[in-house]
Structure 1
């Protein structure tokens, strides 16, 4: 066995960690399990229709730019190397589409899922109309 004194550990580990996102602990559904998925949209794709997740979701954009909008928050652009999160539960996720027309959008999402429930539940038009007052003003 090699002598560890002959090959000391690098000191790089002391500065290797960079915090990308930190949030107060959201509500975690009982019996939740964690799933990590990669999502890829072609250039200009609108993404998923308005939807919600049963538990919180934490994401990281790998490539491209995402139009991101949650109920009660203004639309924003999340670029490659940036993070996003949503609390899940009753909050509607309005947009996750590709903001660029010349490159794909790729992002990772780690979500806390509830056994027996889909990880993404589309919201119907009637509910969108009933909750329209909760949506932030649209950009001009």
Structure 2
């Protein structure tokens, strides 16, 4: 079932323009940890930054690039560039997040991400070299 989210609330007493809504992304509800903490982060990647090493998250994450371009790669998916004004998401859990680096050598990239995390656990869990080797066949071919 699809719902039109582009409407606004009618306000007969309005004296200023109505807010505008644009759906940037929509995904079916991913699995959430039984006990969750939700956090929203503003991440700033310096120009040319490779970002974080391969890692995973305890729950899903939903993001939006505010400025610049990010190289984004999840296990089983080809890497892609997410540009300012575009969104991304990842299911978290067992899926490895390989890349979240800045695609630009001369501009800082900023993105917002809202994450559902297991309380008391780190929101970013590095993946070791041995596990990366074990799961190498799950990584999409690289350009």
Q: TM-score of the superposition, structure 2-length normalised?
A: 0.89
SS of residue matched to 1:24? coil
Which structure: larger Rg? 1
1:124 and 2:128 correspond = yes
**Which structure 1 residue ranges, 4+ long, deviate > 2 Å from structure 2?**
none
SS of residue matched to 1:18? coil
SS of residue matched to 1:96? strand
Q: What are structure 1's unaligned runs of at least 5 residues?
A: 1-6
Q: Tell me how far 1:11 sits from its aligned partner.
A: 6.1
Of 27, 51, 55, the residue aligned with 1:51 is 55
Equivalent position of 1:100 in the other structure: 104
Alignment root-mean-square deviation, CA: 1.1
Equivalent position of 1:138 in the other structure: 142
SS of residue matched to 2:101? coil
Q: What are structure 2's unaligned runs of at least 5 residues?
A: 1-11
Equivalent position of 1:12 in the other structure: 18
| Number of residue pairs aligned between Structure 1 and Structure 2 | 131
Q: TM-score of the superposition, structure 1-length normalised?
A: 0.91
Query: How far apart in 2 are the matches of 1:40 and 1:81?
Result: 15
